Amino acid sequence: MPYFIEGVEVKLVLGDLTEADVEAIVNSECDQLTMARGVSGAIRMRGGETIYQALQEHGKGTVGEAILTSGGDLNAQHVIHAIIMDTDFTTDMIKIRECTQNCLNLANEHRYISIAFPAFGTGVGDYPPDLCAQNMLSEIRSVLQTHREAISIKEIRFYLHNQAVYDAFEEELKKQL
C-alpha cells in the first residue's frame, strides 16, 4: 500500500534492494568504504566491481556523508553510498538522520525522481527497527517540508529485509500520517 508524505509517494517493499528499478538506490556503508558486509556487500556482489572501484576513488568516507557512483550492473542507474557508521559498525539517531537528509539532498540535486533506501543500521549495525523507522521517516518529512517547492523526488521506496523491519516501518508510517 502506498503512503504519501508531503505529496511524495512512499512505498514499503519486503525484498531485495539490489533488484529495485529506480534512479538511485542507497547503500548503507561504513567509513572505510569496503562494501564487504550487509547491504553494501549485496550491492557489490550484484552490481559488480565498477561500483566498488568508483567508491574507492573517494578514499575514506566521513560518517554522515553521501557519495554518488554509477549503478554498475544493477537496475538502478546510480548508487548513493550513505556513510552510516564507522568501523565499529554501530550507528545512532544523529547519523541516521544526517545520512537520510544528505541522500535526499544529493538525489534532489541530481533531479532524481525515484530513490530506494534500506533500513539504515538494522542489519549489521543491529539498530532497533522502530527507532530507525521513526528517525528516517521523520527526517524525510522534514526535508520534504523544507524543500517543498523545489523537490524533484516523486517516489521513495524502502526495501526492507525482513517482516519485523517491514512491520516497524508500516507502523511508523501510520503514526506519522
Q: How far apart are CA 82 and CA 4, in angstroms?
A: 23
Q: Give yes or no for residue 69 having a pLDDT over 80.
A: yes
State the total domains in the chain.
Answer: 1
Lowest mean pLDDT among 53-57, 86-90, 124-128, 149-153: 86-90
| CATH number, domain containing residue 36 | 3.40.220.10
Q: How far apart are CA 77 and CA 100, in angstroms?
A: 19
Mean pLDDT of all residues belonging to the chain: 95
Containing domain of residue 123, as a range?
Answer: 3-176
116 touches 17 (CB < 8 A): yes
| Interval 27-44 mean pLDDT | 94
Q: What is the pTM of this model?
A: 0.96
Q: How far apart are CA 22 and CA 17, in angstroms?
A: 10
Phi, psi of 166 (to 5 degrees): -55, -50
Q: What percentage of the chain has pLDDT greater than the value 70? A: 100
Q: How big is the CA angle at 21 (ends 20 and 23), to the nearest 5 degrees?
A: 110
pLDDT at 167: 98
The 3-state secondary structure of 133-149 reads HHHHHHHHHHHHHHCCC
